[in-house]
């Protein structure tokens, strides 16, 4: 059974997710979030001291759900074919949740500005994702499955650059951009070019 405080916290995060998706960090309103969660603003501030802390909680919740759904262990080494399958599955899932992708894209864009509360989250998220992919690709090189001269770090960086770029194009023109197909074709090209 979920404790009352935990249930309220989950409700706040769910409402905050919608608010941040619709208005970004700067336009989001704690008053609207509190109202949507059925609590007072002081009640909201009891759970989250401010908007920045609430945003970080929303972002961590999103990352945790992605990891659980796909089974990604960012601290381990995933065999590189499974890494590609995981990324393909993530893009396929994202194509069915435009609000989630919009929140990520807006906040990721805002996070490049100095002083933004999501800046460190975004930086650390990219570091962990790229390091995980780099380890997986290096293991493939060491096993003789991938080219010995493969620049695994650059390849890992490209995977996420293309993924995020396609997400932005898809959000802007979803009728013309088939994100899962385009990303799948990109992964197939990468796989052909990196195999030993």
- Mean pLDDT of all residues in 93-118: 83
CA gap 193, 129 in Å, rounded: 21
Tell me the pLDDT band of 58, cut-offs 50, 70 and 90. confident
- Where exactly are the structural domains of the chain? 1-60, 71-196
Q: How many CB atoms lie within 10 A of CB 103?
A: 24
Q: Provide the pLDDT for residue 184.
A: 97
Instruction: Record the tokens describing residue 192, joined without a space.
Output: 């052909």
* Of residues 121, 123, 110, the one with CA closest to residue 27: 110
Q: Provide the pLDDT for residue 2.
A: 47
Q: Residue 1: pLDDT above 70? A: no
* Nearest 10 degrees: Cα torsion 113, 118, 123, 129: -140
CA gap 75, 77 in Å, rounded: 7
Report yes or no on whether pTM surpasses 0.85. no
Report the residue count for the chain.
196
Q: Provide the pLDDT for residue 70.
A: 62
pLDDT digits (tens, 9 = 90+) for 2-51: 466 678 888 898 898 888 877 877 788 999 999 999 999 998 988 888 88
pLDDT over 70 percentage in the chain? 92
Which homologous superfamily does the CATH classification assign to the domain defined by 71-196? Tetracycline Repressor, domain 2 (1.10.357.10)
Instruction: Record the tokens describing residue 55, joined without a space.
Output: 């945003």
DSSP string, 12-79: HHHHHHHHHHHHHHHH--HHHHHHHHTS-HHHHHHH-SSHHHHHHHHHHHHHHHHHHHHT--TTS---
Q: Provide the pLDDT for residue 170.
A: 96
Angle at 171 between CA 165 and CA 175, to 5 degrees: 110
Which homologous superfamily does the CATH classification assign to the domain defined by 1-60? Homeodomain-like (1.10.10.60)
CA gap 24, 136 in Å, rounded: 34
Considering only CA atoms, give the Rg of the chain.
19
């Amino acid at each position: 059974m979920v404790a009352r405080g935990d249930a309220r916290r989950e409700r706040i995060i769910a409402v905050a997710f919608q608010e941040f998706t619709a208005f970004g960090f700067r336009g989001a309103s704690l008053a609207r979030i509190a109202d949507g969660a059925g609590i007072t603003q002081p009640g909201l501030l009891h759970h989250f001291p401010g908007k920045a802390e609430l945003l970080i909680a929303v972002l961590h919740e999103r990352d945790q759900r992605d990891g659980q759904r796909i089974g990604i262990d960012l601290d381990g080494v995933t065999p590189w074919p499974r890494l590609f399958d995981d990324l393909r599955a993530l893009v396929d899932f994202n194509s069915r949740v435009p609000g989630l992708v919009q929140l990520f894209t807006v906040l990721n864009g805002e996070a490049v500005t100095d002083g933004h509360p999501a800046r460190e989250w975004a930086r650390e998220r990219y570091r962990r994702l790229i390091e995980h992919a780099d380890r997986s690709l290096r293991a493939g090189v060491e096993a003789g499955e991938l080219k010995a001269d493969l620049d695994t770090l650059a390849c890992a960086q490209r995977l996420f650059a293309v993924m995020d770029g396609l997400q932005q194009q898809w959000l802007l023109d979803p009728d013309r951009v088939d994100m899962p197909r385009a990303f799948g074709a990109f992964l197939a090209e990468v796989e052909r070019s990196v195999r030993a």
